[in-house]
Copies of this chain bind each other. A is one copy, B any other.
Amino acid sequence: MKFKTIEWKDDGVRILDQRKLPGQVRYLECKDALSVAKAIRTMAIRGAPAIGVAAAMGIALAAQKIRTHRQELFRKEIENVFTQMGQTRPTAVNLFWAINRMRRILEQVNTYGVEQTRMRLVDEALLIHKEDIEVNKKIGEHGKRLIRNGARILTHCNAGALATAGYGTALGVIYAARDEGKRFHVFVDETRPMLQGCRLTAWELAQEKIPATLITDSMAGVLMAQGKINLVIVGADRIARNGDTANKIGTYGVAVLSRWHHVPFYVAAPTSTIDFAIASGKEIPIEERPKEEVTHIGGRRIAPSGVNAFNPAFDVTPHSLIEGIITEKGVLRKPFEKNLKKMLKSKNSFF
Contact = CB atoms under 8 A, between A and B. Distances in A.
A32 interface: no
A250 B222 CA distance: 8
B253 A203 contact: no
Nearest to A206: B304
A233 to B, nearest CB: 17
Given A191-B218, A199-B302, A217-B192, A212 B252 contact: no
Given A252-B225, A302-B195, A302-B198, A307 B218 contact: no
A304 B216 contact: no
B298 A219 contact: no
A308 B212 contact: yes
Most buried by B among A219, A225, A302, A307: A219
A34 B299 CA distance: 36
A225 B256 CA distance: 10
Contacts of A216: 192-193, 217, 249-250, 294
Contacts of A23: 301
Given A215-B294, A215-B309, A309-B214, A221 B206 contact: no
Contact of A252 (B217, B222, B295, B297): B222
Interface in A297-351: 297-298, 300-310, 312, 315-316
Interface of A is mostly: mixed
Contacts of A309: 213-215
A249 B187 CA distance: 16
A303 to B, nearest CB: 5
A298 B300 contact: yes
A248 to B, nearest CB: 8
Given A198-B303, A294-B190, A217 B217 contact: yes
A253 B191 CA distance: 15
A220 interface: yes
Contact of A192 (B190, B222, B303, B304): B190
Contacts of A3: none
Interface in A84-141: none
A252 B220 CA distance: 10
Contacts of A40: none
Nearest to A222: B315
A308 B211 CA distance: 9
Interface of A: 22-23, 187, 189-193, 195, 198-199, 202-203, 206, 211-223, 225, 249-250, 252-253, 256-257, 260, 294-295, 297-298, 300-310, 312, 315-316
